[in-house]
Amino acid sequence: MNSMNHILIGTIVYEYLNEKYGIVLNKSRFLTGNTCPDHGISFLRPHKMRYCNKMVRRKTEKLCRNDYQIISAKASKKLGILCHYYADFFCCAHSSQFSGSIRQHVRYENELLQFMRENYSAFRGMDYVANAAVPVSVTEINNRMRGLIEKKPAKEYDFGTELFCAIQACAILVLSVSLAILSQYSQVLQQELGMRKTA
C-alpha cells in the first residue's frame, strides 16, 4: 500500500480503538510508524509475508516484553510499524499471487487508495473487533495474526474486503498488544502496592 493509505488506515485504527476500547496512543508517532517502513532500508525488500513474517513476530514479542506504558511515543511508533506490515500483508499487490510489474503494482495501490478515499466514512463507521480479551501469551497474538492472514481473501480488485481485512488485522494487533502491555503493567503495579503495604 502507498503511504497515504497507511495513514488513512492508521487513523481509522487509532480512532476506533480510542472510541470503542479507550486505548490511547500517541497519534502522531503511531501514524509515523504506519508510514516509516516505506521510507527506510526495509523498502528495498518487498513487504510480503514470506520476507517479513519472522521479523514481525520478533517485533511483536519484543514490544510485549518491554516495559512500555501504552501511551508512550516509542510504543505507539512501534505499533504503527507493525500495522504497516500487516496492512501490506493484506494488500493483493504484496501477495505472492500478484504477478504484475512494478507499474501495475503502483497502479493497483493507487486504485486501492482511490477506493479508500471514496469510502472513508463508511470504513470509519465499521466495527472491526467484536470483543476483546487479554491474550494469554505473545504466541497467541502471533498465531491469531497468522490465522487472519491465512484466511484472507485472495481475489484481486475486491478493494472493500481487502481494506476491511487490513484495518481489522491492525485493530486486532494493536488491541491485543495494548492489552498484553496493560496487563503486565497492572501486575507490576499490584506487586509494588503489595510491597508498600508490607513495608
The ranges assigned to domains in the chain are 3-198
pLDDT of 189 above 80: no
The whole-model pTM stands at: 0.86
Task: Read off the pLDDT band of 95 (50, 70, 90).
Answer: confident
Is the pLDDT reported for residue 43 higher than 50?
Answer: no
pLDDT band (50, 70, 90) for residue 34: very high
Mean pLDDT value across residues 110-131: 96
- Label residue 44 by pLDDT band (50, 70, 90): very low
Residue predicted with more confidence, 30 or 185? 30
The 3-state secondary structure of 181-198 reads HHHHHHHHHHHHHHHHHH
| pLDDT score, position 185 | 62
Q: Helix 102-118 crosses helix 3-21 at what angle (to 10 degrees)? A: 40
Please tell me the distance from the alpha carbon of residue 88 to that of residue 1, in angstroms, as a whole number.
6
